[in-house]
């Protein structure tokens, strides 16, 4: 293990920016205790106008996806609001990763995965700036539970993901989404390194590849996750994207 990576150190090279980014996303949140990964369910849709718009965008996302061209599918649909597009995709990516990890969660245990790693080279320590103010070394299932609960909490916070019509997105919304996606990537990285055999055995690998590919196209299109964050899966990304070249 020669690479330990956690959130205060990995955002930017500028210290004050680093701290700010973490604060933007992580403070002022009344932290909810982890609900357990088994309880992470796709986020419910409410029925107001804002949500209707989002549901429509979600449908557009799925339809464009069906057309097969991911490069096109991730683009902001003409006339749509960028933040709405970020919100819809962020929620969908969260739901997809929840379900994918759910395929192998019973095999991802304290014993099989005593640390949150992506191969030999990368280990992730959890920190949310609220309950965990210092990097917390933990097993993969604990880390993923903390991570998914943290994302779920933010998605359900209407100050961050507004549901009322006309209520604006927070100014730092793009950064919030970038941080969420950066962290969700780590679940993909862990699955690819440590549970790919089980995924293949369960015939979930095809869906895993297509969800991950969509995720990568999206984060690259809007430069939401740094290349260095994506480094653990650089080869997988190359292979998946070369298939489209
Ligand atoms: Zn695991």
Q: How far is the CA of 149 from the centre of ligand 1 (A)?
A: 17
Q: How far is the CA of 210 from the centre of ligand 1 (A)?
A: 20
Radius of gyration of the chain (CA): 17
pLDDT in tens, 122-177: 999 999 999 999 999 999 999 999 999 999 999 999 999 998 877 899 999 999 99
pTM, rounded to two decimals? 0.80
Q: How far is the CA of 234 from the centre of ligand 1 (A)?
A: 20
Q: What is the pLDDT of residue 124?
A: 97
Residue 65 has pLDDT above 80, yes or no: no
Q: How far is the CA of 245 from the centre of ligand 1 (A)?
A: 32
- Maximum average pLDDT range among 21-30, 48-57, 181-190: 181-190
Q: How far is the CA of 74 from the centre of ligand 1 (A)?
A: 29
Q: How far is the CA of 180 from the centre of ligand 1 (A)?
A: 20
Q: How far is the CA of 187 from the centre of ligand 1 (A)?
A: 9
Ion ligand 1: residue ranges with CB closer than 5 A: 108, 113, 140, 194
Q: What is the pLDDT of residue 5?
A: 57
Residue 59 has pLDDT above 80, yes or no: no
Sorted by where each starts, the structural domains of the chain and their CATH numbers stand as 4-28+45-242 (1.20.140.30)
């Amino acid at each position: 293990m020669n690479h330990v990576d956690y959130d205060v150190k990995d955002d930017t090279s500028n210290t004050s920016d680093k701290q700010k980014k973490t604060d933007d996303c992580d403070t002022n949140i009344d932290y909810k205790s982890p609900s357990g990964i088994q309880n992470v369910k796709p986020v419910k849709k409410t029925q107001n106008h804002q949500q209707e718009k989002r549901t429509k965008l979600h449908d557009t996302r799925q339809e464009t996806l069906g057309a097969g061209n991911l490069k096109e599918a991730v683009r902001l649909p003409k006339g749509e609001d960028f933040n709405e597009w970020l919100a819809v995709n962020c929620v969908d990516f969260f739901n997809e990763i929840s379900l994918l990890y759910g395929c192998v969660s019973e095999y991802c245990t304290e014993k099989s995965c005593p640390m949150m790693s992506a191969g030999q080279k990368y280990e992730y320590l959890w920190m949310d700036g609220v309950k965990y103010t210092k990097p917390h070394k933990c097993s993969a299932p604990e880390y993923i539970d903390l991570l998914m609960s943290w994302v779920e909490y933010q998605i359900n916070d209407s100050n961050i993901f507004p549901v009322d019509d006309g209520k604006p997105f927070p100014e730092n919304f793009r950064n919030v989404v970038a941080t969420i996606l950066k962290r969700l990537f780590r679940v993909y990285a862990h699955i690819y390194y440590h549970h790919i055999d089980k995924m293949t055995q369960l015939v979930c690998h095809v869906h895993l590849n297509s969800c991950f590919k969509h995720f990568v196209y999206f984060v690259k299109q809007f430069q939401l996750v740094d290349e260095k964050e994506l480094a653990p899966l650089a080869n997988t990304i190359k292979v998946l994207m070369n298939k489209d070249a």
